[in-house]
Structure 1
Amino acid sequence: MYHNILVPVTQDHEATIASSMAAARALCAEGGKITLLTVLAEIPVYVSQYLPQDQLQQNLADAKAALEAEFAGQDVRVEVRAGHAAQTILDLAKESAHDLIVIASHRPGLQDYFLGSTAARVVRHAQCSVHVLR
């Protein structure tokens, strides 16, 4: 059983959020912690000049509020960050000493063998255990 579990999710895949959380709860030791993470891509400079100055901060706040509302009353910590998905997941796992990452993955296509998906990058570079859901 694991004591500090990180569950990276994307808000546009609600079915994977439910299955990832179910797996995390099954693998979590009594008294363990689960952190739900969403990573938003940073807004490119050539786009951000046409948006309000605090657009990224507003997007982060909206995403966090939506996840906190969905998991209200549950013992889940919600974290929302901006950056490159795989690197942000790996950074948070390392800085918060997570002992397991539960991540959903799609079936790999040919492009994934050349470019690599987020889950594949996390599996290759994580310094803790990784549980991949398909």
Structure 2
Amino acid sequence: MYKNILVPVIQDHETTIASSMAAARVLCAEGGRITLLTVLAEIPTYVSQYLPQDQLQRNLTDAKEALEAEFAGQGVSVEVRAGHAAQTILDVAEADAHDCIVIASHRPGLQDYFLGSTAARVVRHAQCSVHVLR
């Protein structure tokens, strides 16, 4: 069993969130901690010049509030960050000493063999256990 589990999620994939959370709860030791993480892509400069200056911060706040409302009272902490998905997941896992990452993945296609999916990058570079759900 794991004491500090990180569950990276994409907010608009409700079915994968449910299955990831179910797996994390099974793997979590009594008294353990589960952290949900959503990573939003940073807004490119050529786009941000047409948006309000605090748009990224508003997006981060909205995402965090939505996840906190969805998981209120379930003993889950929520983090929302901006950045490159795979690298941010790895950075958070290392910085917060997570001992397991539970991540959902799609079936790999040809493009994944050339570019690599987020889950594949996390599996290759994580310093802790990684459980991949398909």
Q: What TM bracket, shorter-length normalisation?
A: over 0.9
Structure 2 equivalent of residue 132 of structure 1: 132
Moved over 2 A (4+): none
Percent pairwise identity = 88
Q: Say how many residue pairs are matched.
A: 134
| 2:90 partner SS | helix
What TM-score results when the alignment is normalised by the length of structure 2? 1.00
Q: Distance in 2 between matches of 1:72 and 1:41?
A: 25
Q: Distance in 2 between matches of 1:30 and 1:130?
A: 19
| 1:97 partner SS | coil
What TM-score results when the alignment is normalised by the length of structure 1? 1.00
Structure 2 equivalent of residue 39 of structure 1: 39
List gaps (5 residues or longer) in structure 1: none
Q: Is 1:81 aligned to residue 115 of structure 2?
A: no
Deviation, structure 1 residue 106: 0.1
Deviation, structure 1 residue 54: 0.2
Q: Is 1:52 aligned to residue 52 of structure 2?
A: yes
Q: CA RMSD in A?
A: 0.2
Q: Distance in 2 between matches of 1:2 and 1:85?
A: 23
Alignment of 1:1-134 (within 5 A): 1-134=1-134
Deviation, structure 1 residue 12: 1.0
